[in-house]
Chains A and B, each alone.
Chain A
Amino acid sequence: EVQLVESGGGLVQPGGSLRLSCAASGFTFSSYWMTWVRQAPGKGLEWVANIKQDGSEKYYVDSVKGRFTISRDNAKNSLYLQMNSLRVEDTAVYYCASHGYWGQGTLVTVSS
């Protein structure tokens, strides 16, 4: 059974940093692109970033470029999102996703 379990969310002040993690199981992690998608409270889905199987290609939505970094550790079957210079508008549930499977999300709240 495919499982994606996010962690690392929480409350952070504007300008602060957080690192999200996603633990994957039930599939060959190193064979798939991995993606982060977010959803602000009461809003729609927003694609954030994705990363190729070997980490050689990474893409970001414009609003997070230069602030967020996606990475992966295939030996640990894990995906990460380093979020720096956080803004109030980054408040959202962050989902880890791959080939049609999604985790349950982790809530990031940016507030003073």
Chain B
Amino acid sequence: EIVLTQSPGTLSLSPGERATLSCRASQSVSSSYLAWYQQKPGQAPRLLIYGASSRATGIPDRFSGSGSGTDFTLTISRLEPEDFAVYYCQQYGNSPQTFGQGTKLEIK
């Protein structure tokens, strides 16, 4: 099983700042089958990024994904108030698929 470790656990930033979230895998993720999700309280997760760097439909271009192998990054270039939420990475190249434990992005 591929273990995904996200860091930091909590990130405190202000609107307008840049956010960098990390996801490290215990072994290489097949074909960059790495996704990022955003989840707000009481809501289902929302797909942001798939294939490590492709934005899902309707996702603003301030969200970007990068990385390969075992190290992946989600960057939010300029935080908007609605971006404060929990973010999860997921690998879907190997079974069982696995999620990271999440990074909470909170308003400073």
Q: Which residues of A contact B (CB under 8 A)?
A: 35, 37, 44-47, 50, 59-62, 95, 100-105
Contact = CB atoms under 8 A, between A and B. Distances in A.
24 contacts: A37-B99, A44-B88, A44-B99, A44-B101, A44-B102, A45-B37, A45-B39, A45-B45, A45-B90, A47-B90, A47-B97, A47-B99, A50-B95, A50-B97, A59-B95, A60-B96, A61-B96, A100-B47, A100-B56, A102-B46, A102-B47, A103-B44, A104-B44, A105-B44
Interface of B: 1, 35, 37, 39, 44-47, 50, 56, 88, 90, 95-102
A45 B47 CA distance: 13
A45 to B, nearest CB: 4
Is chain A's interface secondary structure helix, strand, loop, or mixed overall? strand
Contacts, number: 42
A105 B50 CA distance: 22
Nearest to A101: B47
Contacts of A103: 44
Nearest to A48: B96
Contacts of B1: 62
B28 to A, nearest CB: 19
